[in-house]
Copies of this chain bind each other. A is one copy, B any other.
Amino acid sequence: MRLRIGLAQLNAHVGNLNANLEKAKKALDLAEKEKADILVFPELFLTGYPPEDLVLKTGFLNDSRITLNEYIEYSEGKDTISVMGNLDFEVDAYNTAYIVYNGKEEAKYHKIYLPNYSVFDEKRYFSPGNSPLLLEMKNGLKIGITVCEDIWVPNGPAVDLAEMGAHVIINISASPYTKGKPKDRLEMLKTRASELSTWLVYVNHVGGQDEIVFDGGSVVINPFGEVVHSLPLFEEKIDFIDIDPISSTRANLREGKRRHLIYDTHNVEIQKIDKTIEKKGNILKGNKKILLLNKYEEIYKALKLGLKDYIHKNGFSKVVLGLSGGMDSAFVAALAADTFGSENVLGILMPSQYSSKGSIEDSLLLAKNLGMKTETIPIRRTFESLLKELNVAFKDLPMNVAEENIQARIRGTIVMAFSNKFGYIALATGNKSEVATGYATLYGDMAGGLSPIKDVYKTEVYKLAEYFNKIKGGWVIPENIFTKAPSAELRPDQTDQDKLPPYEILDAILERYIEYEMSIDEIVEDGYDKETVKYVIKLVDLNEYKRRQGAPGIKVTQRAFGKDRRMPITNGYKIWR
């Protein structure tokens, strides 16, 4: 017996039910053409993930059901079973996998394990299911259905399904990207398949949604924990693969190999489906190559997909950003040009009396190398005009952060003026090291619709810029931008290191504090100076108010500012004192 599986690693648009339905229909057409037995979509595919408070709208719940009904109708007369992610609702709402076949909703499965940590709020929206679903085909093939978190839990419903004789376990997911997660996730899936001794078909969402990027990387794994087919990361793809799930060795394998698992028995619901699995025709061979990426290629592609989807899904096609001559704006410009084409990226140079000649030259060279347009709008006169108006009120008080921020805010105003005038989305160019320490001006360089490198540490921005130049085959981002000392150029001879420790040290401390929630003592034990650690933590804590008003960024670390790290602004817990 041969089972032909279609993996629909598609990019849904949150809330855009019709667009998602159309994609689903096309995938089903293709599956029919390829004579697939089963076609698997990502979690909540018809609504997009995460739909957030749309789930609290009765109208949205109803419309999502209408959309599903249209899909069901469309499946009539077709011989492919669909596993479709959508909402279900009675008194409560459920994150649901629907089994659709030949014009009928054959069964549905309510996700049992609802993640409610990190960026996830599923317990805000959904009630958990309470019984695993096992499908049984006419000729005995058994397929278990799970949704995302269900498969991460070691003793979750997959265990019940395996116990009940599942040959294949399907998992539909919307699993967000973080650095290194594709590899970790794959290891988890391999472990799960081998400990359960079942085939595992894992289909993940791909695409960007506000702060989150879903990286795809769908796979089929055999009961030995070996990858037999792997889909690319960060790309939409529909692939088909034939597996032979009822092998003569499998039952023996399960007896001999599987670990002893302790679990609460769920009440497995068995749904018999009137479909025979026995395919003839071409055998589609799997691609056993595991499609993982190198570290910076992986992050780069995540940023690119997140940026692209944020701009396009919001109905825009062009972006504008300030070019300071520094690495952050240079890299964001390069990323944007690579994502949208350089004709869709406008860079604004906004020199002041404190701007170095190098900054202007470097920006112009960068723009030339990228082939993007620039405008130069000097801020000196406007800055002086504003200072003059403020002169009486500010009396003889010394220049301080007020005057520095005025410059940054005039620049923010100019970038936003281009955004408003031409309908481009403004990109903020702050990196995570800056956003963490508040080394950025609210409403100034923090202004913009999206902050693409908000979750990338400064030291990593350099690495990504190196990667960019490598793929482009030369110094597209000019060498001088790599070698000069980072500076905000808001007063004479300023450098970032006037106020911050060297970035290698800063980033190491930030990572330990933010991502690993290490204490001062634990960070000091890792070899960092105590006063420096306390100073950095103080900066992070005191600048929560700025981050609360910052543009959304693209999450690439395991703890991003935004939905992922929810600290109070008003916070008397001051461990640095």
Q: Which residues of A are interface residues toward B (Cβ below 8 A)?
A: 13-17, 19, 48, 50-54, 56-60, 63, 116-117, 121, 123-124, 208-210, 309-310, 313-314, 375, 377-379, 381-382, 385-386, 388-390, 393-394, 397, 400-403, 405-406, 409-410, 412-414, 416-418, 420-421, 442-443, 447, 449, 517, 519, 545, 548-552, 565-575
* Residue from A50, A56, A208, A574 having most chain B Cβ neighbours under 10 A: A56
A571/B121 in contact, CB under 8 A: no
* Residue from A388, A397, A401, A414 having most chain B Cβ neighbours under 10 A: A414
A14 to B58, CA, bound (A): 36
A398 — nearest CB in chain B belongs to which residue?
Answer: B421
> Nearest Cβ distance between residue A410 and chain B, in whole angstroms?
7
List chain B residues, Cβ under 8 A from A393: 375, 377, 418
A56 to B519, CA, bound (A): 12
**Partner of A420 from B17, B388, B400 at Cβ < 8 Å:** B400
A575/B59 in contact, CB under 8 A: yes
> Nearest Cβ distance between residue A429 and chain B, in whole angstroms?
15
9 pairs, A vs B, C-beta closer than 8 Å: A13-B570, A19-B572, A54-B568, A54-B571, A124-B566, A382-B386, A393-B418, A402-B421, A405-B420
B414/A413 in contact, CB under 8 A: no
**Partner of A53 from B121, B386, B417, B565 at Cβ < 8 Å:** B565
**Partner of A401 from B59, B385, B420, B548 at Cβ < 8 Å:** B420
A441 — nearest CB in chain B belongs to which residue?
Answer: B416
A310 to B548, CA, bound (A): 14
**Partner of A409 from B56, B412, B571 at Cβ < 8 Å:** B412
List chain B residues, Cβ under 8 A from A406: 413, 417
List chain B residues, Cβ under 8 A from A19: 572
Given contacts A15-B573, A420-B402, contact A568 B386 (CB under 8 A): no
A313/B570 in contact, CB under 8 A: yes
List chain B residues, Cβ under 8 A from A574: 15
